[in-house]
Amino acid sequence: MSKTVRSLRAFLDTAPSAALVEVAEAKGSTPREKGAWMLVSPERIFGTIGGGQLEFMAIDAARAMLSAPALSPLGGEMPAKRAAEGVTSGAQGVSSPVATTPPDGFAATLPSRRENLTLDIPLGPEIGQCCGGRVEVAIRPVYAAMAADLVASAEASDAALPQVLVFGGGHVGHALASAFALLPLNVVVVETRADALDGMPGEIDTRLTPVPEEMVREAPGGSAYVVLTHDHALDFLIVAEALKRDDTGYVGMIGSKTKKATFKSWFLKTAGGSEAQFARLVCPIGGDAVKDKRPAVIAALAAAEIMTALANRPA
């Protein structure tokens, strides 16, 4: 189960009620795009629609909805048993900020019963934001069917995320895994040594194999390959395998100019590679503008580089 689905299920399993808050329209400069959503429970939130006063107001409205009597699909008050079936929220969500005072007249828009609500909010000085755009926010109570749809949608979204294969679980491999754990990616750390996989973040998948280059052949198109094993010869084998694919999103190898030059000579003369294939190699990973070689710094620079490459890859 992916990290988003795990945290979403945990949120939906631990509180008595929840509301879906979704950006229905976004015009001009706005914190998030149309379709961005979050869940709000009486005490917790999951996700974000951009923060700031816009989000605070939406949270207030959602909690006012949740505190109102529930409505049945036909318009009457929902019986207590049916209302109790509303899906829940909480454990992995982020504690919500202290509610702020909404502008005059805002309270009059809140529902007296638990029904769908739409807020049309200009992002100007009236609410203490200067984006200048306008956002329409739809707020709906979450019941069992909607919760199932949200989980299914999260599963589909996670499955479609770009895949990153990190070959090597040394210091930089661990630092990269920690950086990638925060990002919308499907990440697998591949190792030949079992002990090198100890302590990997729980959100990161791992694979122990004596033939890591096989993982390159099995990876989906558009994947990123980051190679930083304990053995330069193994690095070369994995990178060569990746460069010979014409559908990679990124191929990077940790190392110096000397290592890159040595690899080039071997790749062209022995491994049957071409100049065009070699030109796609990123080495060193993370660039050379920052001279700090501490693992966490390399990981931060490489993670940004890889996210940029994946975001700009052809559809």
pLDDT bucket at 111, cuts 50 / 70 / 90: low
SS3 of 21-88: the string is EEEEEEECCCCCCCCCEEEECCCEEEECCCCHHHHHHHHHHHHHHHHCCEECCCCCECCHHHHCCCCC
Asked if residue 204 lies in contact with residue 177, where contact means CB atoms within 8 angstroms, the answer is: yes
pLDDT bucket at 2, cuts 50 / 70 / 90: low
Query: Domain check: are 152 and 165 in the same one?
Result: no
What is the distance between the terminal CA atoms of the chain, rounded to a whole angstrom?
Answer: 26
Q: How far is CA 181 from CA 37, 115, 186, in A?
A: 21, 37, 9
Q: Is pLDDT above 70 for 74?
A: no
pLDDT digits (tens, 9 = 90+) for 212-222: 999 999 999 99
Q: How far is CA 22 from CA 68, 103, 117, 136, 293, in A?
A: 20, 21, 11, 9, 42
- How many domains are contained in the chain? 2
pLDDT at 112: 56
Query: Domain check: are 198 and 107 in the same one?
Result: no
Q: Is pLDDT above 60 for 92?
A: no
Query: Domain check: are 80 and 66 in the same one?
Result: yes
CATH code: domain of residue 190: 3.40.50.720
Query: Domain check: are 211 and 295 in the same one?
Result: yes
Q: Is pLDDT above 90 for 298?
A: yes
pLDDT digits (tens, 9 = 90+) for 239-255: 999 999 999 999 999 99
Query: Domain check: are 172 and 152 in the same one?
Result: no
Query: Domain check: are 149 and 12 in the same one?
Result: yes
Query: Domain check: are 137 and 169 in the same one?
Result: no
pLDDT at 315: 64
Report the mean per-residue pLDDT for the chain.
Answer: 85
Both tokens of 183, joined, read 């990002």
Query: Domain check: are 98 and 168 in the same one?
Result: no
Q: Global pTM?
A: 0.77
Residues of the domain holding 260: 161-311
Query: Domain check: are 23 and 146 in the same one?
Result: yes
Q: Please tell me which residue, 285 or 100, carries the higher pLDDT value.
A: 285
pLDDT bucket at 3, cuts 50 / 70 / 90: confident
Q: Is pLDDT above 50 for 101?
A: no
Query: Domain check: are 149 and 173 in the same one?
Result: no
In the listed set 96, 127, 158, which residue is the last one of a domain according to the structure? 158
Query: Domain check: are 182 and 91 in the same one?
Result: no
pLDDT at 71: 56
pLDDT bucket at 114, cuts 50 / 70 / 90: low
Strand partners, 139: 21, 117
